[in-house]
């Protein structure tokens, strides 16, 4: 069973990866499309992890986890 510290660590890693996709640092439309692809992939991964953690731990708070991951 995963622990709260595992959930926190994973959320932190996903949230930190979001800062690398800062739209203010994008130079052209190719980079913008690539950034959107990474964001979509990160959202998919976070959602699938949240689903798994919720099945594994009845006290897991999916909404709180996604917020901690930086998912809106």
User: 38-68 pLDDT, tens per residue?
Assistant: 889 999 999 999 999 999 999 999 999 999 9
Number of domains the chain contains: 1
Q: State which residues form the domain around 42.
A: 4-68
- Identify the CA nearest to 50 among candidates 63, 59, 40: 63
How many of the other CB atoms lie within 10 Å of CB of 37?
11
Does the pLDDT at position 36 exceed 90?
A: no
Maximum C-alpha span of the chain: 44
Mean pLDDT of 18-47: 71
The distance of Cα 3 from the centroid of its chain, to the nearest Å, equals 18
CA gap 30, 69 in Å, rounded = 25
Question: Which pTM does this prediction carry?
Answer: 0.74
Residue 13: pLDDT over 70: yes
Top-confidence residue, 25 or 12? 12
């Amino acid at each position: 069973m995963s622990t709260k510290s595992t959930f926190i660590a994973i959320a932190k890693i996903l949230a930190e990866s979001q800062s690398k996709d800062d739209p203010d640092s994008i130079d052209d439309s190719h980079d913008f499309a690539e950034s959107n692809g990474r964001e979509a992939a990160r959202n998919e991964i976070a959602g699938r992890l949240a689903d798994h953690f919720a099945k594994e731990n009845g006290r897991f708070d999916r909404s709180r986890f996604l917020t901690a991951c930086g998912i809106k």
